[in-house]
Amino acid sequence: MPSKRKRNPLQYQTSGSLDEETNQRSAFPQIDNNSASESLEYDIPLDGLDYLATVREEARKLVPFVAARREPETRETIPLRKLEIEAGKKSFDPFLRYLLNIIDKEGERLEQYMESSSLDASILPKNLQQWRVYIEHKAPCWAILAVVDLATVLEILESLSSWLEKDAIDLQSQWIFCFCYKLPELLNGEDISTLRSVLKSLRSTHTSFPALQMSASALQAVLVYRYGQKDLFQT
């Protein structure tokens, strides 16, 4: 059994000796290079401080290395990536754009009418039931559109899908289209959600009537391009 090396009593120091290479003091004052060499030479069991000294001694023997310099990428060295464009998907729909242009122009005409004409709100139907009868029998006119407010427009649109009648569907479709003139540039999330529900209802009922689907497309154009509802692009 190898004999144990006698140890000198530890002398408490705040720092070790100065290293000539690094010009720094050791974090463990009790460790010196001689103790590490002695432990390795005589195969004396290592304690914690001896182990740290051994690691330091091994580190001193390592050959210094320099990281290889990495050349910056240039336009010539960067590999070209093939642009992937999803087939059949366009950035815009000319038909929806066309409908939106009509709505914008007619909306401007409506504003001019409101500025130049005397408005009379007393001519409006008083409730939804009266509105239903009015829309089934009378075509849209500037006088009505000028005085009806947004809240009423949204309420009528929300109810129209249940009012649709085959004999009156052409007039009802005209009202849907004209109500799009009343939709402002900004709308809150709840009202946009209402319009989305209206569009869904129009797309799922009376699909064989071109006039109704044209008006549904007008509402879709407003939702997609004015209110940013891009997920409705293919609806």
Q: What is the pLDDT of residues 39-71, one digit of tens each?
A: 445 455 556 667 677 777 777 776 665 555 655
Residue 85 lies in a domain: no
Residue 174 lies in a domain: yes
- Rounded to whole angstroms, the Cα distance separating 128 from 152 reads 9
SS3 content of the chain, % helix, strand, coil (to 5): 55, 0, 45
What is the structure's pLDDT at 86? 36
- Rounded to whole angstroms, the Cα distance separating 194 from 153 reads 11
Q: Are 225 and 189 in contact (CB under 8 A)?
A: no
Residue 208 lies in a domain: yes
Domain count of the chain? Answer: 2
The 8-class DSSP code of residue 166 comes to: T
Question: Given pLDDT bands bounded at 50, 70 and 90, which one contains residue 36?
Answer: very low
Residue scoring higher pLDDT (21 or 165): 165
Question: What is the extent of the structural domain holding 164?
Answer: 94-232
Q: Indicate whether 37 and 132 sit together in one domain.
A: no
Q: What is the pLDDT of residues 154-195, one digit of tens each?
A: 999 999 989 998 899 999 999 999 999 999 999 999 999 999
Q: Are 200 and 169 in contact (CB under 8 A)?
A: no
What is the structure's pLDDT at 12? 45
Residue 151 lies in a domain: yes
Residue 2 lies in a domain: no
Q: Indicate whether 58 and 102 sit together in one domain.
A: no
Q: Which residues pair with 25 in a beta bridge?
A: 18
Q: What is the pLDDT of residues 97-146, one digit of tens each?
A: 999 999 999 999 999 999 988 888 899 999 999 999 999 999 999 999 99
- Rounded to whole angstroms, the Cα distance separating 63 from 90 reads 61
What is the structure's pLDDT at 63? 64
Q: What is the mean pLDDT of residues 186-213?
A: 92
Residue 78 lies in a domain: no
Q: Indicate whether 99 and 34 sit together in one domain.
A: no
Q: Indicate whether 115 and 167 sit together in one domain.
A: yes
Q: Indicate whether 98 and 50 sit together in one domain.
A: no
Residue 81 lies in a domain: no
Q: Indicate whether 135 and 207 sit together in one domain.
A: yes
Question: Given pLDDT bands bounded at 50, 70 and 90, which one contains residue 84?
Answer: very low
Residue scoring higher pLDDT (178 or 21): 178
Helix H segments across 43-141?
Answer: 48-61, 94-116, 128-137
The answer to which of 5-19, 114-128, 190-204 has the lowest mean pLDDT is 5-19
Of 62, 57, 18, the residue nearest 38 (C-alpha): 57
